[in-house]
A and B are shown apart, each in its own frame.
Chain A
Amino acid sequence: MTGSGTFEPVRFNGWPELKEAFLSQHLQASFILAPMAMALREQGVPIKIVYLGHRDGTTMMVHKDSDIHRIEDLRGKKVAVPNRFSNQRLIIFRAFKERGLNIDDVTLLEMPPPDMPAALHVRAVDAIISGEPFMAQSEMDGYGRVLFLTKDVWPEFISCVLAVHEDVIRDHRAEVQQLVDGIARSGKWLDTTMDHRMQAAKFTGQNYYNQDPKLLEFVLSKPPDRVKYTNLAVRRKDFEEIELVGRESGTLQGTAHFEDYADPSFVTDESAIQPYLWEDTP
């Protein structure tokens, strides 16, 4: 392992608060919505995307008694999205466009993901879309039905990325490398066997997320490719696609490009990553 940084995870409860703390350099690095990182770069904030948080792991849920069975049925409905700069919002644009639908036919409203299951339960909205485990919550409790998993609509979907301030990359490259390696190796370890995923569900549920380990087990196993933690290197074509949809939907200006907002140099060869070896000590 290179570098000798110590990393302190800081949990936030909303994207705006996280963004503000990151902007003002109180956070050196942050997991952040991919289009939000790109938009910040467009606005002149010197940050770089160095790695991905995960792939897929987003679900759109409808109420089990709802008459929505296909994406086309969303016309005239109300859908809660996590943030205007979320890829969860962009995936709706992309899916609508592919099906020749007009995006104005659906009402999108911003809602913090933790509030979404309750909103769906009382049918304040017709559909909810966000990262897990909030979607699986409604499924596990029996009132939510999966409309689609991202892997079926936008394969290899990117929700959150790891962004770092440019001056931090310049002055503390070894530490950033250490952070990326740590994430990459844990991701590989997670995706090696289902048993690892179950161990992780228990560990993170209790120590970091304060969420029911059973819920996290559900997310990580039903189906196993609901969310993936491998193949997380920053690839040009993925981001150019987000850029395109972002521009079409008016979310992004299109003034920042891959060279501006991404630094793929921390992981150049995904296959060289060795999984962590914490068998019995999660």
Chain B
Amino acid sequence: MSLQRRVLLAAIGWLGTVTLLHLWLNTSAFEKRTVSTGQTGKQFRVGFLPVT
């Protein structure tokens, strides 16, 4: 395998590993998805600052 290809593979491997780890540790992407129950409820994001 040429060096060029090795470097490229290492870079892609790094990208994939970091991405999977991030999705696993810091997002809920791998949590069991709650099956959509046909609710019309809206996902609300409510902003706040940690002051009283």
Q: Do chains A and B touch in the complex (CB under 8 A)?
A: yes
B51's nearest neighbour on chain A, judged by CB, is: A131
Interface size class of B (residues with CB under 8 A): 10 to 19
B47's nearest neighbour on chain A, judged by CB, is: A30
Given A3-B41, A4-B40, A132 and B46 contact (CB-CB distance below 8 Å): no
Q: Which residues of A contact B39 (CB under 8 A)?
A: 4
Q: Main SS of the interface on chain A?
A: mixed
Return B37 CB to nearest CB of chain A, in Å: 9
User: 1/0 per residue B41-52: CB within 8 Å of A?
Assistant: 111111111111
Interface size class of A (residues with CB under 8 A): 35 or more
Q: Does A70 contact B (CB under 8 A)?
A: no
Return B32 CB to nearest CB of chain A, in Å: 16
Q: Identify which of A96-104, A206-214, A236-244, A251-259 touches chain B.
A: A206-214
Q: Main SS of the interface on chain B?
A: loop
Q: Are B47 and A31 in contact (CB under 8 A)?
A: yes
Q: Are B48 and A5 in contact (CB under 8 A)?
A: no
Q: Does A138 contact B (CB under 8 A)?
A: no
How far apart sit A113 and B48, CA to CA, in the bound complex (Å)? 14
How far apart sit A36 and B41, CA to CA, in the bound complex (Å)? 29
How far apart sit A133 and B47, CA to CA, in the bound complex (Å)? 18
Q: Are A5 and B41 in contact (CB under 8 A)?
A: yes
User: 1/0 per residue B16-52: CB within 8 Å of A?
Assistant: 0000000000000000000000011111111111111
Q: Are A6 and B51 in contact (CB under 8 A)?
A: no
Q: Are B51 and A179 in contact (CB under 8 A)?
A: no
Given contacts A53-B48, A113-B49, 5 further A-B contacts (CB under 8 A): A8-B43, A22-B47, A30-B48, A31-B49, A159-B52
